[in-house]
Amino acid sequence: MSTNDLKVCRSLIKQVRNIQRKIPAIKVEVVTHGLGVELLFNNSRFSNVLKAMANKGIMLLACRNTLNERGLSSTSDLISVARIIPSAFAHLIVRKSEGWSYIKVGF
């Protein structure tokens, strides 16, 4: 997730819910970077929905490189269920090498 576009955010939530409904045991990670990290901010309009999704096993990940670029050294700006990864791209590369599927969100 690399955008803060509201339509894309809504689409992401819908898609993840649909996937989880059809395949309840699936592991899903939402990897955010760039403007997409705003999805995981405390003041995000989606924060309550995301917390509920995390409580159902969805991992919400924020890129440390992006946070550093934005001058956010503390996790206090992020919702409590968000986790920080060192690099979004490196994380995706590792996951792909482990056999995970990659689905780009957006239009």
Domain annotation for the chain: domains and CATH numbers: 6-97 (3.40.1260.10)
What pLDDT was estimated at residue 76? 86
Checking if the pLDDT of 106 tops 70, the result is no
Q: Are 8 and 106 in contact (CB under 8 A)?
A: yes
What pLDDT was estimated at residue 52? 95
What pLDDT was estimated at residue 72? 86
| Torsion angles phi and psi, residue 57, rounded to 5 | 105, 0
Whole-prediction pTM? 0.92
| Sign (positive or negative) of CA dihedral 94, 67, 54, 44 | negative
- Who has greater pLDDT, 76 or 36? 36
Q: Name, in order, each residue with C-beta under 8 angstroms of 76's C-beta and a sequence gap of 6 or more.
A: 42
- Who has greater pLDDT, 98 or 106? 98
